Amino acid sequence: MKYALVTGGSRGIGRAVCVALAREGYSILVNYASNRTAALETVRLVEEAGGTAEIMPFNVAFSHEVDDALAKWEETHPGEFISVLVNNAGIREDNLMIFMQDEQWNKVLETNLFGFFFVTRRVLKNMLTKRNGRIINITSLSGLTGMPGQTNYSASKAGIIGATRSLALEVAPRKVTVNCVAPGFIDTDMTADINQDDHKGRIPAGRFGQPYEVAAAVAFFASQEASYITGQVLSVNGGLHT
């Protein structure tokens, strides 16, 4: 059985990634922090697509939760390992820097950047031992260009890009690839508070993207055909680069 762990897999891009990878033959581990109902809906959609899935609750921002959940899974799946990791869990706490509170800065960095570190470090060992692995990190247009009101979010996503490039160099000899997918404006819960009409004119494609379009890029990076691609950032943004 091939296993893929998708953090933040209960909704939006994460849910679409779970379904896309299930169609590629992976058994999906659907991570979520608190919304069990939404995670179970993702499981239902994976099964509807002909795949298998199980939920894996933990908050990526807390290393002990990450370690405990993965240790428990390994105990109940002897001899198995997670060969695809999609670091998708992320949050926004937008504010202008001059008004930004410590909690807003810390919470975003802890979830988006520290979470990437805690989960990847824990899963990586078995990938290296097995000489087989795909790590795909969901970053953002904001991490490439910056966005006003998102210094915390941009810092976290830019940090993931830098970490991806460094880690790719470390693990390539063990046949593990590390890449990023950088969505632009995607129609999800995370962008529900954004007026699409205010931004469509800036997007050459003239619309917000859909989660399945991001998931397709993730599925490509997870494939055997992408085995010679590592340390890269693939933008899925309708042509919006500035």
Q: Please say if 32 is a catalytic residue.
A: no
Domains of the chain: 2-236 (3.40.50.720)
Per-residue tokens: 157: 């996503």
Contact of 63 with 36, CB cutoff 8 Å: no
pLDDT at residue 67 in the model: 98
Query: What does each C-alpha distance from 106 to 98, 137, 182 come to in angstroms?
Result: 15, 20, 22
Neighbours of 24 (CB within 10 A): 15
Contact of 43 with 30, CB cutoff 8 Å: yes
Greatest extent of the chain over all pairs of C-alpha atoms, in Å: 52
Share of the chain above pLDDT 90, in %: 91
pLDDT exceeds 80 at position 191: no
Closest CA to 9 of 63, 121, 69, 88: 88
The pTM for the full model equals 0.95
**Which position among 3, 32, 153, 212 bears the catalytic label?**
153
Rounded Cα distance between 212 and 159, Å, is: 25
pLDDT at residue 189 in the model: 78
Rounded Cα distance between 241 and 127, Å, is: 34
The residue assigned the tokens 């997918």 is 181
HSE-CB for 75 with a 13 A CA cutoff: 6
- Residue 114: what residue type? F
- The model's pLDDT over 119-144, given as tens digits with 9 standing for 90+, comes to 999 999 999 999 999 999 999 999 99
Query: Average of pLDDT values for 187-191?
Result: 82
Q: Radius of gyration (Cα) for the chain, nearest Å?
A: 17
Per-residue tokens: 226: 């992408």
Q: Which residues fall within 8 angstroms of residue 155, CB to CB, at 6 or more apart?
A: 109, 113
HSE-CB for 185 with a 13 A CA cutoff: 24
How confident is residue 192, by pLDDT bands cut at 50, 70 and 90?
Answer: confident
